Amino acid sequence: MFSFSKKIITICILLILILVSTFWIGRAHDVEQATYQAKRQVTQLNHYIDTELARFSAIPQLLTYNELMINFVSGEQQHYSVINNYLADIQQASGASDIFILNTQGAVTASSNWQADYTFLGSNFAFRPYFKRAFAGEKVAYFALGMRSKERGIYFSQAVYKDNKAIGVVVLKVNVSKFENDRELLNTSKGSHFYLQLADDVIAMSDIEGWRLNSFTELGIEARRDIKLRRAYLDHQPQYIKQLQFTSENIPHFKIDKALYVTSSMPLRYFNATMNLLVDVSKVNSAQVPRLFWAFIIYTLLIIIGYSLLTRFAGYKKLLYSRHSLELEVVERTQALEKVQTALVQSAKLATIGQLSAGINHEINQPLSAINTYLASAKRLLAKGNVTALNESLIVIEGLVERVHQIVGQLKHFSKPSDMQLRPYPLAGLVNNALMISSAQLKQDNVQVESPKFDETVVVWVDALKFEQVLVNLITNASQAMNGAIIRNLSFHLECFEERVKLSILDTGAGIEQHAFGNLFEPFYSTKSSNGLGLGLSISKQIIDSFNGCLSAHNRLEGGAEFIISLSSKESSNQANIEKTPTQENQND
């Protein structure tokens, strides 16, 4: 419960952080876009105005070279109507507001507006800097408020020369409202404004009427006196407009009333003034709301999907881990069990040795005491010089020593841990080898052997030497069991199944005694009075078990015993790997 609410809090904090980041990134992006827009628009605006001003500034210059103009200004020809009409034609064709000519005293002698009510004819503009400076030889572009029209305009003026002497001035006026009204050309949008600031910080042009001829700078006494003297704005005194200009993250900002703008400035090429463009960013914060809404939806979904994926992945990882550790545990346990099993087998063997040592003790002590007795008798016979009797005693001792040797020899099977390699061997070869080894015993007991005629392809998966040891033991037992019987016949019978073979060793002896069945495969169980140690069947069963086989015994109906060995065989698949038995190899040699 605690960890769940902790997770919820973490997710909420994460979401809030993401939304705050989204807000600031979105805001910075919008401000950057607005700044880019301001730069783009101010460049376009300046290009437009510069092109227009360049075009207008060329007209007075062209007029000063005009022969008709020079003759008129010099007073050689006084065709007033011709000149006035000429100036009116040029004014109309060029789109200028007025074109007029001043004589050496600054009086208007000809004007394009000669027929209008506000005609300049008769006026004197000697006080205007555009007259004085042009007369002094300067090519002038000057902003001023028209005396008669009361309209703001830019005056382009240039002196007319004759014989290298200024004889008058040609003036062209362009009303700046022409540019202000040309909104479409200016390509300004609702959210942007512009203003053209003159060198004296007075605003010459703006799309906002209240800013025109006022200033964003608090003009000092000196500046105001200068303005008054120049009479550029006649009797108008520029008012200070309160605003705040600052730079934030390298972007110039402009705050007026409650509106906030980003600005971009650029000076004009053909006129000493700076164009400023403002793009409104007042609503940049509220503009983030839809963005935040979608960000909230998307990030919430992403967090939910990511969280569920992570949970699943963690579960899957845990499952993999536990499966892996389970497998490891199984392997470890199996290895431990195998070790324990091997140790158990070994200790079982040793325990058996211990358990049976009493029996062995008895078995060995018996021949040893006999040896002792015979040795004492041999000493006496030697002293008497009875060589024949001495020789007989030594032969008996030799037999007794051999018996001890046999007893000890058979015990080695119990002390060694079984480590053998099972391989496919042809059964016929193994049985023939065993018969060959047992032939002396069989001959001694006068046993008839029915030689087995097994198919050479029948194989058994065994350790050849150990299997032969088992066969020799069973054949020897059978041979001994038939001792005293009238019919002494040893035969073999084979049954083949899909993956197993069943080999029977049959004899015609007295059969297994009924009471012996329970202990037949127990160590040291023997019914043989003299030479039976009782280890043969016990060892044989152990060997056959280690081949994943089975050794069993029962009495035959017709008399005699049958010992059955069942073993695995892979007749068809392992035929190619069949190895030759050692005897076969020897025979081939």
CB closer to ligand ADP out of 247 and 514: 514
What are the b/e assignments for 109-132, b being 16+ CB within 10 Å? bbbbbbeeeebbbebebeebbbbb
- Residue 474: name the closest of 424, 521, 420 by CA: 521
- Residue 194: name the closest of 205, 179, 210 by CA: 205
The stretch near ligand ADP (CB under 6 A) out of 46-54, 370-378, 460-468, 527-535 is 527-535
The stretch near ligand ADP (CB under 6 A) out of 54-62, 106-114, 329-337, 533-541 is 533-541
- For residue 521, the minimal CB distance to ligand ADP (Å) is 8
State which of positions 538-577 bind ligand ADP (CB under 6 A): 538, 561
CB closer to ligand ADP out of 27 and 413: 413
Contact assessment for residue 130 and residue 144, using Cβ atoms and an 8 Å cutoff? yes
* CA angle at 48 for the pair 42 and 53, rounded to the nearest 5°: 120
Contact assessment for residue 300 and residue 15, using Cβ atoms and an 8 Å cutoff? yes
CB closer to ligand ADP out of 26 and 536: 536
The whole-angstrom separation of Cα 531 and Cα 478 is: 15
Show the beta-strand stretches assigned E in 482-560: 489-496, 500-506, 550-555
Residue 507 lies near ligand ADP (rule: CB under 6 A): yes
The contacts of residue 563 (CB under 8 Å, 6+ apart) are 474, 477, 478, 504, 505, 551, 552, 553
Judged on CB neighbours under 10 Å (0-12, 13-18, 19+), 164 is: exposed
The whole-angstrom separation of Cα 255 and Cα 139 is: 38
Place of tokens 């362009």: 174
Nearest-Å Rg of the Cα atoms of the chain is 66
Terminal C-alpha separation, the chain:
85
Among 125, 534, 542, 543, binds ligand ADP (CB under 6 A): 534
Contacts 24+ apart (CB under 8 A), 250-253: 251/31, 251/32, 251/35, 253/281
The stretch near ligand ADP (CB under 6 A) out of 18-26, 163-171, 507-515, 544-552 is 507-515
CB closer to ligand ADP out of 57 and 480: 480
The stretch near ligand ADP (CB under 6 A) out of 15-23, 324-332, 526-534, 572-580 is 526-534
Show the beta-strand stretches assigned E in 82-134: 98-102, 108-111
Q: If phi over 0 gives left and psi between -120 and 50 gives alpha, with beta otherwise, what is residue 64?
A: alpha
Largest separation between any pair of C-alpha atoms in the chain: 195
Residue 60 lies near ligand ADP (rule: CB under 6 A): no
Among 6, 225, 339, 528, binds ligand ADP (CB under 6 A): 528
CB closer to ligand ADP out of 98 and 507: 507
Residue 537 lies near ligand ADP (rule: CB under 6 A): yes
Among 367, 426, 509, 549, binds ligand ADP (CB under 6 A): 509
- For residue 508, the minimal CB distance to ligand ADP (Å) is 10
Instruction: Name the residue number minimizing CB distance to ligand ADP.
Output: 536
Among 325, 527, 552, 587, binds ligand ADP (CB under 6 A): 527
Residue 109 lies near ligand ADP (rule: CB under 6 A): no
The whole-angstrom separation of Cα 440 and Cα 455 is: 26
Residue 526 lies near ligand ADP (rule: CB under 6 A): yes
- For residue 450, the minimal CB distance to ligand ADP (Å) is 15
CB closer to ligand ADP out of 238 and 536: 536
CB closer to ligand ADP out of 140 and 553: 553
CB closer to ligand ADP out of 170 and 505: 505
The stretch near ligand ADP (CB under 6 A) out of 33-41, 339-347, 388-396, 504-512 is 504-512
Q: What is the DSSP string of 311-368?
A: HHHHHHHHHHHHHHHHHHHHHHHHHHHHHHHHHHHHHHHHHHHHHHHHHHHHHHHHHH
- For residue 413, the minimal CB distance to ligand ADP (Å) is 12
Site string for ligand ADP, 69-88 (x = CB under 6 A): --------------------
CB closer to ligand ADP out of 219 and 478: 478
- For residue 561, the minimal CB distance to ligand ADP (Å) is 4
- For residue 447, the minimal CB distance to ligand ADP (Å) is 11
CB closer to ligand ADP out of 438 and 477: 477
Backbone angles phi, psi at 496, to 5 degrees: -110, 130
The contacts of residue 342 (CB under 8 Å, 6+ apart) are 417
CB closer to ligand ADP out of 171 and 503: 503
Site size for ligand ADP, by CB under 6 A? 22
Site string for ligand ADP, 463-502 (x = CB under 6 A): ----------x---xx--x---------------------
Among 536, 543, 547, 581, binds ligand ADP (CB under 6 A): 536
Which residues is 172 bridged to in the sheet?
Answer: 99, 156
Contact assessment for residue 265 and residue 273, using Cβ atoms and an 8 Å cutoff? no
CB closer to ligand ADP out of 191 and 532: 532
Residue 516 lies near ligand ADP (rule: CB under 6 A): yes
Q: Give just the sign of the alpha carbon dihedral 476, 482, 483, 487.
A: negative
Residues near ligand ADP (CB under 6 A) are 473, 477-478, 481, 507, 509, 511-512, 516, 520, 525-528, 532-538, 561
